[in-house]
Amino acid sequence: MTTDATAPWLIVGLGNPGPEYAMNRHNVGFMVADLLAERIGGKFKRAGKAQAQVLEGRIGSPGPQNRRVIVAKPMSFMNVSGGPVTGLRDFYKVPVANIVAIHDELDIDYGTMRLKLGGGDNGHNGLKSITKSMGPDYHRVRFGIGRPPGRMQVADFVLKDFSSTERKELDYLVDRAADSVECLVTEGLERAQSAYNS
């Protein structure tokens, strides 16, 4: 799928709003979005009717690979992310192929990352909501969190904070995920997959 080099990119970190969720496994998309915002050098602001926080900026060195981006964090709770994302897509006139969702992924081990275009939602409520709103043909940066131990319910596991052991690596992994998003936007999916898929 080709993308329009002049069209902006919408980079969406998925998570739940509120300090009580900030360090949850389910909020790793917000963590990556926060780091991208820090790198761009700006602060998130409320986006009109879209029920999201956004930051506009550019990614990539000056020249043909420099891309206009909107980094967003839906403020609607995970399972209804589709509304804010669709609102932002329409407002900024972003092609679906230029949308990137960053999310936690149960079926990938912690510390592993995969980038892909399109596909199913694998039971992830944030993806389910986005796909229902605009179809599946957007990019995903899948941040592995692994499966819950023992008989712990999935919902309990994703809404718990990363363990102390996991936190030792978390900053590095969030940094790597942010790098992969920048690579995807500036150099394309294949390049990003070969560099970051593990």
Give me the active site residues, please: 26
Beta bridge mates, 73: 53
End-to-end CA distance of the chain: 23
Cα dihedral 181→38→68→79 (10° resolution): 60
Other CB atoms within a 10 A radius of the CB of residue 46 amount to 11
